[in-house]
């Protein structure tokens, strides 16, 4: 075959670098933070330098920590991405505490992402107080899960041994003080 050659041996190429792309660690803010409460979750992170997501097809997956209740289904109207309501209902798996959403907006390379699950989404805070709760996030482009910052779940404030003493116990008293 004219013009073709077989070369035996080795050759050295120019130096090159393979760079990966990854999500930043998510900041997680539940509200309220009390145990076993229905809560809104605000999640903020950035996609990597090659992590752009396309509206209507790019997905974001969250895996919540143990003792968190993820509902069997969730309405699209309970979730926003960068302030825009979802147009497709999330896929949820209560057994693995996983939620996958399809972004309703384009997210550019290195773009910031804010996902808000409102309190009607059906997420229930973990049943035990702690300050080391983590969730993971990954996308359809950046598939390696990244852990969030640690967030806290607290016990509810409880009132105990309350008592009331009236300064005037007469019916229709006009100036009653409570101690």
Give residue-wise pLDDT tens across range 150-166. 999 999 775 555 566 66
Q: What is the pLDDT of residues 80-116, one digit of tens each?
A: 999 999 999 999 999 999 999 999 999 999 999 999 9
pLDDT number for residue 156? 79
| Per-residue pLDDT at 172 | 72
pLDDT in tens, 113-169: 999 999 999 999 999 999 999 999 999 999 999 999 999 999 977 555 556 666 666
3-class secondary-structure state, position 2: coil
Alpha carbons 84 and 98: distance in angstroms, whole number: 21
Tell which residue, 45, 137, 55, has the closest CA to residue 102. 55
Q: Computed from CA positions of residues 94, 96, 97, 98, in that sequence, does the dihedral angle turn out positive or negative?
A: negative
> Residue 176: its pLDDT value, please?
61
Q: Give pLDDT, residue 132.
A: 95
**Does residue 177 surpass a pLDDT of 70?**
no
């Amino acid at each position: 075959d004219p013009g073709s050659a077989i070369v035996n041996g080795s050759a050295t190429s120019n130096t090159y670098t393979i760079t990966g792309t990854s999500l930043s660690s998510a900041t997680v803010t539940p509200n309220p933070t009390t145990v076993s409460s229905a809560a809104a979750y605000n999640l903020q992170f950035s996609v990597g330098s090659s992590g752009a997501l396309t509206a209507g097809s790019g997905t974001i997956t969250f895996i919540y920590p143990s003792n968190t209740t993820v509902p069997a289904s969730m309405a699209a109207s309970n979730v926003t991405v960068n302030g825009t309501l979802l147009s497709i209902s999330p896929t949820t798996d209560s057994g693995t505490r996983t939620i996958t959403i399809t972004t309703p907006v384009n997210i550019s390379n290195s773009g910031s992402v804010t996902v808000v699950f409102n309190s009607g989404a059906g997420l229930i805070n973990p049943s035990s107080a702690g300050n080391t709760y983590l969730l993971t996030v990954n996308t359809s482009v950046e598939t390696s899960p990244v852990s969030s910052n640690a967030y806290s779940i607290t016990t509810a404030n409880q009132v105990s041994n309350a008592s009331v003493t009236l300064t005037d116990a007469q019916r229709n008293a006009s100036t009653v003080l409570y101690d």
